[in-house]
Amino acid sequence: MKRQPVVAGRFYEEDPDRLRQQVEEYSVPSAKRSKAIGAMVPHAGLIYSGSVAGMVYSELEAPGAFVLIGPNHTGIGARLAIMERGSWEIPTGSMEIDTALADEIMRHGCDLELDAEAHRMEHSLEVQLPFIAHHFPDAKIVPI
């Protein structure tokens, strides 16, 4: 499944060139990169949260994948939902889901349910993707 962007043009620029420029304006090119096992990043529209998100993503070393954990603001679908296959589209391209990692997470349980529908209208993870795609173009994602 290809999850289409639902907040492009509202939470971040819809035009690919303007989105790249927006992400670059919020990023810190001279930042020293560090290994991290996790990072907390705000999930509001980029005019509100972009400077913090840009700083955080600018300081991370490239991981193979990002496990993105966000709330379900809409209440649609499962309360604890993982999307294990497909990709998430943004104006600047596509972010592939790391299916092997998603399967591994599912094998270790919790109360996660396979549910792409829970992610369809949710913005919290989508607003991370322009930064991830910009700073880590080869990275994959696991949306939870």
- Torsion, Cα 102 8 91 1, to 10 degrees, reads 40
Residues 6+ apart with CB under 8 A from 33: 58, 59, 60, 61
- Segment (H or E) for 66: strand 65-68
Backbone dihedral angles phi then psi of residue 59, each to the nearest 5 degrees: -100, 0
pLDDT of 97 higher than 90: yes
Q: Residue 60: what pLDDT?
A: 97
Q: For residues 9-25, give the mean pLDDT.
A: 98
Q: How many domains does the chain have?
A: 1
> What range does the domain containing 19 cover?
2-143
pTM equals 0.94
Q: Residue 30: what pLDDT?
A: 83
Nearest to residue 83, comparing CAs of 140, 8, 23?
Answer: 140
Which DSSP state fits 19?
A: H
Q: pLDDT digits over 44-95, tens only?
A: 999 999 999 999 999 999 999 999 999 999 999 999 999 999 999 999 999 9
Distances (CA, A) of 80 to 64, 69, 113, 138: 23, 10, 6, 27
Residues 6+ apart with CB under 8 A from 8: 14, 19, 90, 91
Q: Residue 21: what pLDDT?
A: 98
Q: pLDDT digits over 104-132, tens only?
A: 999 997 789 999 999 999 999 999 999 99
CATH number at residue 120: 3.40.830.10
